Structure 1
């Protein structure tokens, strides 16, 4: 079985907190991504939005376009409108060979609101997940028809944060809706990481890896602390630097025959956590865990 390792630019520049790495150039981010060993990257706010320039800058740094975030609004709009909204990014990703498009449900999200506590996240009644799942499936089927599968991202501060909410999405959607497993977000939300992989391994089509500093998470007051407060306090770090057992996680992926991209995505303050040094740390930890369970890494 084979894996490819990619990196998110969020370690260098955080789009939701521009003061974190706002002065860091895209050139620095991509050069250090490749130098750390990664062969792919996700997109971010500093990336060109057109095919010619994005393709050029990726080629210059010998990186593949893996994926990138799309801010979904299906809790509030029709599938038909969402397809119109997603089409420009989807076509760009298709033309540049991206593996997936990452779909996060951001209607009324508090993930990017500094003064909104985690407890203010939107709550969707369980009965409403049926209709939501139908709309999400339609959008995912459209994405698949264009050659770029949709990978659904559960995320802190959104309407799909907890393991139960993720279960409801998976149970009410068709197989066109792939699952992006994000290790850090699931553990932070109190979920059972290995249980989710066991139940939905056949639908996992993308993986984000970050680690959790347990001592920081233990201090979080969800009635007072915002998601961005937690990021600034250092709740996230790279694999191998926190509480998550990546040996077990890689074994769980291998047991489900997962092959594809694994992304290191650890939003931190670059002034406190040098992005290049932590990128190397994350790469080495993932490589060790993956090789130990029989994976080979495609360079």
Structure 2
């Protein structure tokens, strides 16, 4: 096992993209018992061993000083962290203090992105709501409230050296391609960018490339997440929630599902994308060992994507 990231054996993208892996493969913040035995150190050791250079923050992380010391010791970059905004529900003034604190935290860790998702009315964390049939929608009057609020958060993010990247997400007010495009059109491109997630695009619209083509100029962060179509259909028929769908195996890492990542990867490269792509898959680590799946994804990247 490599105890620190070795530049000689780290993932080397021939097109200059930086590769990391999201902590949700090791532990889930929404269901604390899922992966509860995994620690920050466990995750960092697995990342170093498999050659991923970066990750994002998670709720189970210890205080920031410990996070920075541990990540630096293993040679792993902290890239970003999720922030749940309630701009429409609570008003932007109520959101600013917590968002500012998050930006200060990320700035201390040397991150470059803050991931924002509007959670007003969200059903992504409700286990008694089918993710395939129920989602909140914004009224015409609420869209400018969200857009103006995000612009303000974007200013705060930039004052801390961060890029605000908005995460389109299942079960939220910005899920579909049309909703994501509308949000990008309503926000200031100098202040609000997009996190493009293949898994959410596929499950939400049945299409990965449509959203990617429509928003390529705004994308500053990417999650590559694969989907097992038979598990997705099983969850749809069973009317499962988002959480129960992923526990049932709907998501997996690139190379283990149905998405052909060569097309989105090549499209990103051809349009000059040279930022981070994080491998991500909400899975139960008791069933899908994170180290094993990190290796599966790396093999796919090197054998298929980089050869495309």
Structure 2 residue aligned with 1:6: 20
Following TM superposition, by how much is the alpha carbon of 1:248 offset from its aligned partner in structure 2, in angstroms? 0.5
Q: Distance in 1 between matches of 2:139 and 2:32?
A: 34
Instruction: Pick the aligned partner of 2:242 from 220, 227, 230.
Output: 227
Greater shift after overlay, 103-112 or 146-155? 103-112
Instruction: Pick the aligned partner of 1:48 from 62, 71, 77.
Output: 62
Structure 2 residue aligned with 1:181: 196
Instruction: Pick the aligned partner of 2:228 from 189, 204, 213.
Output: 213
Deviation digits for residues 104-139 of structure 1 (CA, Å, limit 9, x no counterpart) = 111221111212222332121245323321221121
1:45-194 to 2 correspondences below 5 Å: 45-50=59-64, 52-118=65-131, 119-175=133-189, 176-194=191-209
Does residue 269 of the first structure (1) align with residue 284 of the second (2)?
Answer: yes
**Unmatched runs of 5 consecutive residues or more in structure 2:** 1-14
Does residue 38 of the first structure (1) align with residue 52 of the second (2)?
Answer: yes
Q: Where in structure 1 do 4 or more consecutive aligned residues deviate above 3 Å? A: 287-290
Q: Secondary structure at the match of 2:117?
A: strand
TM-score scaled to structure 1, two decimals?
Answer: 0.92
Following TM superposition, by how much is the alpha carbon of 1:225 offset from its aligned partner in structure 2, in angstroms? 1.4
Residues 181 and 214 of structure 2 are in contact (CA less than 8 Å); yes or no, is this contact kept in structure 1? Answer: no
Q: Say how many residue pairs are matched.
A: 292
Residues 162 and 191 of structure 1 are in contact (CA less than 8 Å); yes or no, is this contact kept in structure 2? Answer: no
Q: Distance in 2 between matches of 1:149 and 1:142?
A: 10
Deviation digits for residues 203-262 of structure 1 (CA, Å, limit 9, x no counterpart) = 111001110001111223378311011011100000011111111110110121111111
Does residue 260 of the first structure (1) align with residue 275 of the second (2)?
Answer: yes
Following TM superposition, by how much is the alpha carbon of 1:267 offset from its aligned partner in structure 2, in angstroms? 0.9
Q: Distance in 1 between matches of 2:148 and 2:59?
A: 30
Bigger relative contact order, structure 1 or 2, given CA contacts below 8 A and separation 6+? 1
Deviation digits for residues 4-48 of structure 1 (CA, Å, limit 9, x no counterpart) = 111111111111122321122222111111111101111112212
Q: Distance in 2 between matches of 1:108 and 1:49?
A: 30
Q: Distance in 1 between matches of 2:283 and 2:194?
A: 24
Residues 163 and 191 of structure 1 are in contact (CA less than 8 Å); yes or no, is this contact kept in structure 2? Answer: no
Q: Distance in 2 between matches of 1:289 and 1:94?
A: 35
Q: Secondary structure at the match of 1:219?
A: helix
